[in-house]
C-alpha cells in the first residue's frame, strides 16, 4: 500500500464534480443547474407549444407566405388554358423578427453557497426559468390579441381573406361580465362558430383564461359533459386543457393581457375593471401592468401593443396557425468559471433566449372582451 506524506495534497482525492478525475472540479455540477433551469421554463410556459414555432439560423427574421384562394371556371372548347384571368391566387407575406437577447441572471457568492443549508443554485435556476417563461408567454399572448383585431394580409379585390375576431362576453357595459360562467360558455360557442365560418381548422384550437375565470367556469361546466371523463380528481383544477367547450381546450394563465394588466386586476367594478377585491399581501408581481413598449421596453423589434390597447381584453381563443414564434437561441444556460470565478469568488448564472413573436393568420385569433362593444378596444392603434 502506498503511503501519503502528511504535508502533501491527497493525489487520490475523489472529486465528484470532475469529469474522469481531471480538469475543472466543478464541471459536472453544471448539468444539474441546466436541468433545473429547463424544468422551470417548461413548467411555466404554455404558449410555446400552442403556436407555430420555428428555429431561425443565419438571419434576423423569418418570412411567412400567405396564399389566397382562387376560383374555378368551365373550359370553353378550343380555348388555350393559360391560367385564370383574374391572376389568382394572390400572395402576401408576414415577417417576424427576433427581438434582442432576453436574459435573466444572478451572481452566486461562494461563501453564501457554503453557509446556505439548502441548494442555492437549484433554487435560483428555477426562478431564472420562471422569468424567461413568463416573458415568453406574455409576448405571444399579446401578439395573438393583436391578430384578433387585424385584417388579413391578402387584400386583393374580390379575394380578401378573413381577419381576426372580437367577441363580447355578456351584454352589459361592466367588465365583471368576464367572470360570468354562462356568458363565457356562450362566448366560446360564438368563437367556435366564427372560426368555422372563416375556414379555420378545428385541429389545435385552444382558449386561455385567467385563473379566476377558469375556476368560475369549471364550477359551471363540471357536470355538463364538457370535461374529458378520463380525467378525474384534481386534473380539472390544474388548467391543462382538460376542460373543453365546442372542441376548444381551455388553459389558465397569469400571462394573458387582462384589462391592461397581466392575468388579473383588482379594484371596484367598472367598464375596465371586473371588480375583484384585492386579497391582500399580493406582492409586487401579481396584477402587473402590461408594458408600454413605446416608452418602457428596449430591445423589442416586433409590435406587441401598448398598455391602454388591452383595456377590455379578458381572454383568448386561437388555433395554432394564429401566431408564430421564431427562436434564434432557445432557452439555454451559461455560467462563469475558471479565472473569473477566482477573481470574484463566485459565479454568474445566466439564462438566455432570443425569440420574437407575432400573429400569422388573423382568422385563427379570437379576443374576448368585456365592458365594451366589439371593435372598441383600440383597433385603430394597430
Q: What's the whole-number mean pLDDT along residues 111-125?
A: 80
Per the document, the length of the chain is 382
Task: Identify the residue with better confidence: 265 or 339.
Answer: 265
C-alpha–C-alpha distance, residues 154 and 152, integer Å: 5
CB 74 within 8 A of CB 94: no
Reading the block at residue 230, the C-alpha cell is 378520463
**pLDDT category of residue 378 using cuts at 50, 70 and 90:** very low
Summarize pLDDT for 236-255 with one digit per residue, the tens.
555 565 678 899 999 999 99
- Average per-residue pLDDT for the chain: 84
Residue 381 has pLDDT above 50, yes or no: no
The DSSP annotation for 302-354 comes to: S----GGGGTTEEEEEEEGGGEEEEEEEEEEEEE--HHHHHHHTEEEEEEEEE
Strand partners, 167: 368
**pLDDT category of residue 151 using cuts at 50, 70 and 90:** very high
Q: CA-based Rg of the chain, rounded to a whole angstrom? A: 26
C-alpha–C-alpha distance, residues 177 and 273, integer Å: 10
Reading the block at residue 284, the C-alpha cell is 409586487
Q: Which residues of 103-112 are buried (b: 16+ CB within 10 A; e: fewer)?
A: ebebebeeee
3-state class (DSSP) for residue 78: coil
C-alpha–C-alpha distance, residues 347 and 345, integer Å: 7
pLDDT value at position 253?
93
CB 346 within 8 A of CB 110: yes
**pLDDT category of residue 15 using cuts at 50, 70 and 90:** low
**Highest mean pLDDT: which of 116-120, 240-244, 280-284?**
280-284
Summarize pLDDT for 29-59 with one digit per residue, the tens.
655 566 666 677 777 789 988 999 998 888 8
State percent of the chain over pLDDT 90: 47
**pLDDT category of residue 372 using cuts at 50, 70 and 90:** confident
Q: Cell 436541468 maps to which residue?
A: 35
Lowest-pLDDT choice from 155-169, 174-188, 243-257, 330-344 = 330-344
Q: Under CATH, what is the fold of the domain 29-65+89-280+298-375?
A: phage-related protein like fold (3.90.1690)
pLDDT value at position 229?
47
Q: Cell 407575432 maps to which residue?
A: 358
Q: What's the whole-number mean pLDDT along residues 196-202?
A: 94
Question: Helix, strand, coil proportions of the chain in percent (round to 5)?
Answer: 30, 25, 45
CB 309 within 8 A of CB 378: yes
Q: What's the whole-number mean pLDDT along residues 283-309?
A: 83
CA distance readout (Å), 139 to 110, 144, 289: 35, 9, 13
Rounded to two decimals, the pTM is 0.83
**Alpha-helical segments (H) within the chain:** 29-44, 110-115, 120-147, 181-197, 211-221, 338-344
CA distance readout (Å), 359 to 100, 269, 377: 19, 31, 17
**pLDDT category of residue 114 using cuts at 50, 70 and 90:** confident
Q: What's the whole-number mean pLDDT along residues 254-259?
A: 95
Residue 69 has pLDDT above 70, yes or no: yes
Domain boundaries, the chain: 29-65+89-280+298-375
pLDDT value at position 1?
52
Task: Identify the residue with better confidence: 373 or 263.
Answer: 263
pLDDT value at position 28?
62
Amino acid at each position: 500500500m502506498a503511503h501519503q506524506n502528511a504535508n502533501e495534497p491527497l493525489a487520490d482525492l475523489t472529486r465528484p464534480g470532475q469529469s474522469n478525475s481531471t480538469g475543472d472540479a466543478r464541471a459536472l455540477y453544471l448539468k444539474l443547474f441546466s436541468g433545473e433551469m429547463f424544468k422551470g421554463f417548461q413548467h411555466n410556459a404554455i404558449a410555446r407549444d400552442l403556436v407555430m414555432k420555428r428555429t431561425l439560423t443565419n438571419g434576423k427574421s423569418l418570412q411567412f407566405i400567405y396564399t389566397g384562394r382562387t376560383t374555378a371556371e368551365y373550359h370553353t372548347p378550343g380555348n388555350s388554358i393559360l391560367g385564370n384571368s383574374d391572376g389568382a391566387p394572390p400572395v402576401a407575406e408576414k415577417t417576424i423578427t427576433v427581438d434582442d437577447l432576453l436574459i435573466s441572471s444572478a451572481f452566486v457568492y461562494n461563501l453564501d453557497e457554503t453557509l446556505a443549508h439548502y441548494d442555492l443554485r437549484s433554487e435560483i435556476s428555477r426562478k431564472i426559468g420562471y422569468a424567461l417563461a413568463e416573458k415568453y408567454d406574455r409576448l405571444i399572448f399579446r401578439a395573438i390579441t393583436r391578430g384578433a383585431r387585424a385584417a388579413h394580409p391578402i387584400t386583393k379585390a374580390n379575394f380578401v381573406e378573413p381577419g381576426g375576431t372580437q367577441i363580447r362576453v355578456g351584454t352589459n357595459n361592466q367588465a365583471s361580465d368576464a367572470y360570468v360562467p354562462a356568458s363565457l360558455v356562450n362566448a366560446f360557442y360564438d368563437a367556435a362558430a366564427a372560426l368555422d365560418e372563416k375556414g379555420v381548422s378545428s385541429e389545435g384550437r385552444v382558449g386561455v383564461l385567467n385563473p379566476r375565470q377558469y375556476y368560475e367556469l369549471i364550477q359551471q361546466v363540471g357536470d355538463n359533459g364538457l370535461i374529458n371523463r378520463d380525467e378525474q380528481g384534481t386534473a380539472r383544477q390544474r388548467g391543462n386543457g382538460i376542460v373543453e367547450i365546442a372542441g376548444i381546450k381551455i388553459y389558465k394563465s397569469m400571462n394573458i393581457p387582462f384589462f391592461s394588466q397581466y392575468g388579473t386586476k383588482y379594484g371596484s367594478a367598472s367598464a375596465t375593471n371586473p371588480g375583484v377585491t384585492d386579497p391582500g399581501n399580493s406582492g409586487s408581481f401579481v396584477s402587473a401592468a402590461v408594458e408600454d413598449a413605446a416608452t418602457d421596453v428596449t430591445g423589442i423589434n416586433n409590435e406587441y401593443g401598448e398598455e391602454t390597447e388591452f383595456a377590455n381584453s379578458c381572454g383568448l381563443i386561437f388555433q395554432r396557425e394564429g401566431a408564430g414564434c421564431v427562436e434564434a437561441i432557445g432557452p439555454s444556460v451559461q455560467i462563469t468559471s475558471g479565472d473569473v470565478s477566482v477573481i470574484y469568488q463566485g459565479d454568474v448564472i445566466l439564462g438566455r433566449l432570443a425569440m420574437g413573436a407575432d400573429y400569422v393568420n388573423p382568422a385563427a385569433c379570437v379576443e374576448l372582451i368585456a365592458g365594451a362593444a366589439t371593435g372598441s378596444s383600440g383597433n385603430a392603434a394597430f
